[in-house]
Amino acid sequence: MADHMKLDGEWPALDWPQALKDALMPQTRESLQRMARLLRIYDWENEKDKDALIDGLAPVLADYAAESTALWDEERWALIRRLVKNNGLMAEPPQSGPVAYYLAERGIAFPGEVKGKKSLVMPTELVERFAKLEGLSGTPAQVKRNTEHIKLTQGLLYYYGILEEPELEARLIALTGETPEDGPDMFEVLVDALDFRAMYDLDEDGLFANLDVEEPQELLRIQQARGESAVSRVYQGRTAQSGRT
């Protein structure tokens, strides 16, 4: 999960409008490789030459970024609508780190100052590509579905504290009446949201946890030893206790 909270000192002067290649030039090789990895541009994720990496990403990044919106929720979709409507410029954007870092790490929009004002700038190629997205004038059903999955996951984890992937999937299916075949893999949606202010975390063992749970694996052992109802009581008791301190 993104742990950046503020963008202190990270507002370089930017031109607007800005070409994608110009936006990529100041980035480090490592950040460009991460960009390729996050957008699943696998042909370029291991390229070590920065110039070659930029030349490889520039022609295809907009299409891959547009495809990535299949995993988005309503908040991210609204940001893109606003950026496209304003031809790639968002003056006085949200200054919480996860918003800008999420977009910048994927090459979608970059934080900076335009004429002395803090802004997010979307490269021209991205504006043109996102403008062609189906349903941009409203909120597509898939985006609404993703939003529901994320909110339900946050609610379940607030109650139970932790859930392993198979159990979380079963509970989401029971609550929504959907099956995994109804759209993008729901766990791809949940994992992608980790970098965008999701109120849960995920460890390498596939254990989802509410952010207030300090030791998810310990709570899992309690769940396995005492059963689900005991886990909910333990976690609620812990939450109530923390609220009194």
Residue 235 — φ and ψ, nearest 5°? -70, -40
Q: CATH number for the domain including 202?
A: 1.10.10
The CA-CA-CA angle for residues 37, 41, 42, to 5°, reads 80
Residue-level pLDDT at 6: 55
Indicate whether 4 belongs to any domain: no
Whether residue 147 is found in the same domain as residue 126: no
Using a 10 angstrom Cβ sphere, with 0-12 exposed, 13-18 middle and 19 or more buried, the burial of residue 44 is buried
Residue-level pLDDT at 100: 87
Indicate whether 210 belongs to any domain: yes
Report how far apart, in Å, the C-alpha atoms of 72 and of each of 23, 131, 166, 186, 224 are: 23, 16, 22, 11, 33
Indicate whether 12 belongs to any domain: no
DSSP one-letter code for 186: H
Indicate whether 116 belongs to any domain: yes
Whether residue 145 is found in the same domain as residue 101: no
Whether residue 108 is found in the same domain as residue 192: no
Report how far apart, in Å, the C-alpha atoms of 220 and of each of 1, 19, 217 are: 20, 49, 5
Helix, strand or coil for residue 224? helix
Residue-level pLDDT at 209: 95
Structure token digits, residue 12? 């370089």
Report how far apart, in Å, the C-alpha atoms of 27 and of each of 22, 42, 152, 182 are: 10, 18, 36, 37
Residue 125 has a CB neighbour count (10 Å cut-off) of: 21
Q: Which residues pair with 209 in a beta bridge?
A: 162, 201
With a threshold of 0.95, does the pTM exceed it? no
Torsion of CA 12, 18, 31, 115, to 10 degrees: 10
Indicate whether 6 belongs to any domain: no
Residue-level pLDDT at 237: 43
Indicate whether 1 belongs to any domain: no
Out of 108, 130, 152, a domain closes at 130
β strands within the chain, DSSP E: 89-91, 110-114, 117-121, 162-164, 200-202, 207-210
Indicate the number of domains in the chain.
Answer: 2
Write down how long the chain is: 245
Instruction: Give the chain's residues under pLDDT 50.
Output: 1-5, 229-238, 240-241, 243-245
Residue 229 has a CB neighbour count (10 Å cut-off) of: 9
What domain range is 119 assigned to? 20-130
Distance CA 237, CA 223 (A): 14
